[in-house]
Amino acid sequence: MPQPLIGAVIGCGFFAQNQLHAWADLPGARIVALCDRDAVRLAETAARFDIARTYADAEAMFAAERLDFVDIATTVASHRPLVEMAARAGVHVICQKPFAANMADARAMVAAVEAAGKTLMVHENFRWQSAVRRVIEIVRSGELGEVFFGRVSFRSGFDVFSGQPYLAEGKRFIIEDLGIHTLDIARALFGDVVRMAATTRRINPAIKGEDVATMLLSHGSGATSVVDCSYATQRSPETFPESLIEIDGNKGSLRLDAGYRLVLADRVEDLSPPVLAWASRPWHNIQESVLIIQRHFLACIAAGIQPETSGKDNLQTLALVEAAYLSAAEGRMVELAAQ
Ligand code: NAD
Ligand code: 89V
């Protein structure tokens, strides 16, 4: 059995708890240190996961610890300084989405970790949800033939603001926070995008950003897809946090319906994800994907290969986010360049 990789987690907030549970489930990693500027969160998380060494300052942590990797679980504003610090410390990096607030920061982070000769993966976990993964496998197997149409849809009225109050405060909301996942799923299914158009709306008057977005994508593969997301949709049953998918190919069609029900021409598959011991509904779908993506990170380091959701790959997803905001602001189709 190879020695586990030694890691640290920066950011002990709402979502990091899932990441720490997943690391504890993975024999290939051992988290030895935690960092957070918030002393209460830091102490509570250290006690919950029995992690002895804690730091209020990431620079101090990198100076004191001998790490193989760092997991950055903070919100976007801190990503660039922390990723660049990790690159200077010569450790592998996994960083939460949204990876960067702009393309320049994203490119700088990719370049810094590349120059250090280390692995950089973005925690872009929606394409790693087991139901979505099954759909990706079917498309990549060629079973549907040449795909000409797709839809990736996330519509919900779930209150995400109580757990993540910062989501109500930003000028940007649903495309940057959630659409980024659904756009990434569309890329995983249909390939990179050559042009796109988007419209946005804000329905909830209590938040600052847009909570509805509808996007039309032309993929280089020839497929057209619609990616739509909303946190202003009153559904029954509520489907948070499921991404519903429809795909048409010249040899067949599929639908990933509500309730993780996959329908192909001649069969139905129940793709309900497991509820891991530390997980709870309705988040169990996302929580399972955290375990899967973190396992992928360790496997890629062991094999010396780039993760599927590497920093470099994520530049294409971030470019779609930027293009969507530009298209919505200017009311026009936006061309995408290769990143
Ligand atoms: P949060 O505000 O609850 O937690 C962030 C923590 O980071 C806070 O405790 C804060 O004190 C700490 N922090 C910030 N900057 C720091 C720094 N420079 N040094 C040390 N500590 C610092 O946020 P959250 O809801 O846990 O979200 C974190 C990230 O995870 C966000 O980017 C969010 O978009 C992402 N997220 C991803 C998913 C997913 O499914 N992939 C789900 C939820 C949130
Ligand atoms: O997945 C996320 O990034 C979360 C949520 C599901 C609430 O949008 O912020």
pLDDT digits (tens, 9 = 90+) for 127-181: 999 999 999 999 999 999 999 999 999 999 999 999 999 999 999 999 999 999 9
The sign of the CA dihedral 17, 66, 74, 100 is: negative
Among protein residues, the one with the nearest Cα to ligand 1's atom 8 is 13
58 pocket-lining for ligand 1 (C-beta < 6 Å): yes
Which of 1-5, 130-134, 228-232 is the least confident region? 1-5
CA angle centred on 204, ends 201 and 207, rounded to 5°: 95
Report pLDDT for 228. 98
Q: Which atom of ligand 1 is nearest to the CA of 76?
A: 32
Measured distance CA(315)–CA(109) in Å, rounded:
11
> Per-domain residue ranges for the chain?
5-118, 127-274+316-335
Closest CA to 314 of 76, 69, 15, 18: 76
Closest ligand to 34 CA?
Answer: 1
Pair 325, 175: CB distance under 8 Å: yes
164 pocket-lining for ligand 1 (C-beta < 6 Å): yes
Q: 90-109 burial, b for 16+ CB within 10 Å, e for fewer?
A: ebbbbbbbbbbbeeebbbbb
* Residue 153 β-bridge partners: 228, 244
Under CATH, domain 5-118 is a member of which superfamily? NAD(P)-binding Rossmann-like Domain (3.40.50.720)
Among protein residues, the one with the nearest Cα to ligand 2's atom 7 is 160
Q: Which atom of ligand 1 is nearest to the CA of 15?
A: 26
- Ligand 2 centre to CA of 177 (Å) is 6
Among protein residues, the one with the nearest Cα to ligand 1's atom 18 is 78
What confidence tier does 266 reach under pLDDT thresholds 50, 70, 90? confident
> Does the pLDDT value for residue 309 go beyond 80?
yes
Q: Which of 10, 14, 125, 178 has the most ligand 1 atoms within 8 A of CB, as the residue to mutate?
A: 14
* Mean pLDDT for the stretch of residues 262-271: 94
The CATH T-level fold of domain 127-274+316-335 is Dihydrodipicolinate Reductase; domain 2 (3.30.360)
> Does the pLDDT value for residue 1 go beyond 80?
no
* Mean pLDDT for the stretch of residues 50-54: 97
Report pLDDT for 339. 83
Q: Which atom of ligand 1 is nearest to the CA of 35?
A: 20
Among protein residues, the one with the nearest Cα to ligand 1's atom 9 is 13
Report pLDDT for 2. 81
Regarding pTM above 0.95, the answer is yes
Q: Which of 176, 178, 240, 242 has the most ligand 2 atoms within 8 A of CB, as the residue to mutate?
A: 178
Measured distance CA(44)–CA(16) in Å, rounded:
12
Residue reference for tokens 């994203």: 106
> Does the pLDDT value for residue 88 go beyond 80?
yes
